Structure 1
């Protein structure tokens, strides 16, 4: 991997892997519009900086949102020349926060290279610490993976490999994290028929940094298992997650039953989060389960 200075330098193939743009398109945008000025090695090969990659990503995103290519380039150039000039969509500003680890993960993720993804995650975790690792590397990477999959830039296999490697790495961190025996206990659980467990791993790690003992019920637990474990383990808090509305569509009485169960657990606080839950509870408002999509509301 080309990496000549602290900001990182990438070959055109690496840039293509990171952005989803073909090498031909990258060269065309460079030569026709002059939007980036890559350096050249002695052999003539182009090398691109992180700032070059970020600019390409911004232009690509704006064009996907309906702007013409010329308009997208103009908007990005104006924002680069004057930081006070905002871009039309807030998502483009997220690229400014990306660091080299995010770029490298995207490159290896495009090739479904599990070993390299895991190696980069390990490097990043030990280099920046847990909080920065979660907020500055894992979250941006997963959001971009999801965006690429939704836009058919990545196949289901590419999305699955990248997400599963991240999930397994987060599990390793949680298993090796130390806590006091007297620590408060939080139990996290996906609802039955909900398979997206990574958001819970991220939330539970935030709790661990605050000194909590944590445990997770995995994806799509059997009906009744949440109630059984809560009754047995007596956690101080239960975090329920539904990224999709599938749990409620599959079992229309699920939330009502869980709410009735939570009402009887006077020593345990229940929270329900995820976009699916927030969407669904517009039709049914639970009395004993607090619905929120903000971990800060729970941790305060």
Structure 2
């Protein structure tokens, strides 16, 4: 089920999107005046996109330590003065203002692990918005919120896994069906051994694809030595290595040095290593041929 023709959601849909119970939603409305949903002729409440976003903002502020009364006042002040900061860490906070119905519906279906509906909504968004806006306005915000819900124990590992894998498979489908020029440069992406989080690398490869590159991804947690073998066989122009966690470096402390020594021997192949695990890990070894960066734009500079 999606919003009705007037863009309104039922209270159950809002509960699925926000992670708030129906009782809490009603309490926030009646006691704190946080939202004022419309009523149908039968008395049922219906909620707008803005109502949902307001609830999400108040919820996040309460998680940051604000009382519900303070959170409601803060949201109201920001609505009156949009330039005012809302969250303590604006850089890491979800940008609810830019969320659209697609993201909200994905959260609703992800809460129920409804793979068919998740795929249907992703297809709708992709064909409606095009690949660029699909990535920036739908896929990335949704995946970030999925990760946040899992970290905050709002979603189970199963809910997080189903939602992430559906998006991953959809991105793979787009890349497989994309038409390349015969002369297109080739980038090979690979998670490091022992790294299982491959979705961030899919998103990076999509950005290369949009710039006209041919892309290929080595599966999550490849066997030691398989990256080197594929590089020798495929001869890509660029190799992107990814570690979302620090597990690869903790499991194999010499991994970076070995890969760097291999990279030094490869002529005309540029090697990059990124991901949050890479940025957060303290390396004793300083690579010579592998550049550590989390900026796709720097790599794609002409």
TM bucket normalised to smaller:
over 0.9
Question: Contact 2:195/2:245 (CA < 8 Å) preserved in 1?
Answer: yes
> Following TM superposition, by how much is the alpha carbon of 1:198 offset from its aligned partner in structure 2, in angstroms?
0.6
What are the within-5 Å matches in structure 2 for residues 201-212 of structure 1? 201-212=202-213
Q: Matched residues in 2 for 1:285 and 1:279: separation?
A: 15
Question: Contact 1:263/1:288 (CA < 8 Å) preserved in 2?
Answer: yes
Query: Which residue in 2 is equivalent to 1:197?
Result: 198
Q: Matched residues in 2 for 1:250 and 1:3: separation?
A: 47
Q: Deviations over 1:188-242 (max 9, x none)?
A: 0000000001111111111011000111101000000000010111100000000
Q: Deviations over 1:49-77 (max 9, x none)?
A: 01000000001001101111111111111
- Which consecutive unaligned segments of at least 5 residues does structure 2 have? none
Query: Which residue in 1 is equivalent to 2:272?
Result: 271
SS at 2:61 equivalent: helix
Question: Contact 1:58/1:92 (CA < 8 Å) preserved in 2?
Answer: no
Question: Contact 1:2/1:11 (CA < 8 Å) preserved in 2?
Answer: no
> Following TM superposition, by how much is the alpha carbon of 1:3 offset from its aligned partner in structure 2, in angstroms?
2.9
Corresponding residue pairs, total:
299
Q: Matched residues in 2 for 1:93 and 1:79: separation?
A: 15
Q: Residues 55 and 165 from structure 1, CA distance in 2 versus in 1: closer, same or farther, beyond 3 angstroms? A: same
SS at 1:42 equivalent: coil
SS at 2:47 equivalent: strand
SS at 1:159 equivalent: helix
Question: Structure 1 residues 274-283 or 49-58, which shifts more?
Answer: 274-283
- Which consecutive unaligned segments of at least 5 residues does structure 1 have? none
TM-score, scaled relative to structure 2: 0.96
Q: Matched residues in 1 for 2:115 and 2:144: separation?
A: 18
Question: Structure 1 residues 290-299 or 216-225, which shifts more?
Answer: 290-299
Question: Structure 1 residues 93-102 or 237-246, which shifts more?
Answer: 93-102
2:66 maps to 1:79: no
TM-score, scaled relative to structure 1: 0.97
Q: Residues 67 and 44 from structure 1, CA distance in 2 versus in 1: closer, same or farther, beyond 3 angstroms? A: same
Q: Deviations over 1:249-275 (max 9, x none)?
A: 111110000000101112100000001
Q: Matched residues in 2 for 1:62 and 1:3: separation?
A: 26
Question: Contact 2:243/2:276 (CA < 8 Å) preserved in 1?
Answer: yes
SS at 1:9 equivalent: coil
Q: Matched residues in 1 for 2:199 and 2:93: separation?
A: 24
> Following TM superposition, by how much is the alpha carbon of 1:4 offset from its aligned partner in structure 2, in angstroms?
3.8
Query: Which residue in 1 is equivalent to 2:135?
Result: 134
Q: Matched residues in 1 for 2:68 and 2:154: separation?
A: 19
Query: Which residue in 2 is equivalent to 1:262?
Result: 263
Query: Which residue in 1 is equivalent to 2:243?
Result: 242
> Following TM superposition, by how much is the alpha carbon of 1:35 offset from its aligned partner in structure 2, in angstroms?
1.3
Q: Residues 2 and 43 from structure 1, CA distance in 2 versus in 1: closer, same or farther, beyond 3 angstroms? A: farther
Q: Matched residues in 2 for 1:112 and 1:38: separation?
A: 27
SS at 1:43 equivalent: coil
Query: Which residue in 2 is equivalent to 1:104?
Result: 105
Q: Matched residues in 2 for 1:70 and 1:9: separation?
A: 26
Q: Matched residues in 1 for 2:195 and 2:93: separation?
A: 30
Query: Which residue in 2 is equivalent to 1:3?
Result: 3
Q: Matched residues in 2 for 1:2 and 1:45: separation?
A: 16
Question: Contact 2:2/2:105 (CA < 8 Å) preserved in 1?
Answer: no
Q: Residues 230 and 217 from structure 1, CA distance in 2 versus in 1: closer, same or farther, beyond 3 angstroms? A: same
What are the within-5 Å matches in structure 2 for residues 197-236 of structure 1? 197-236=198-237
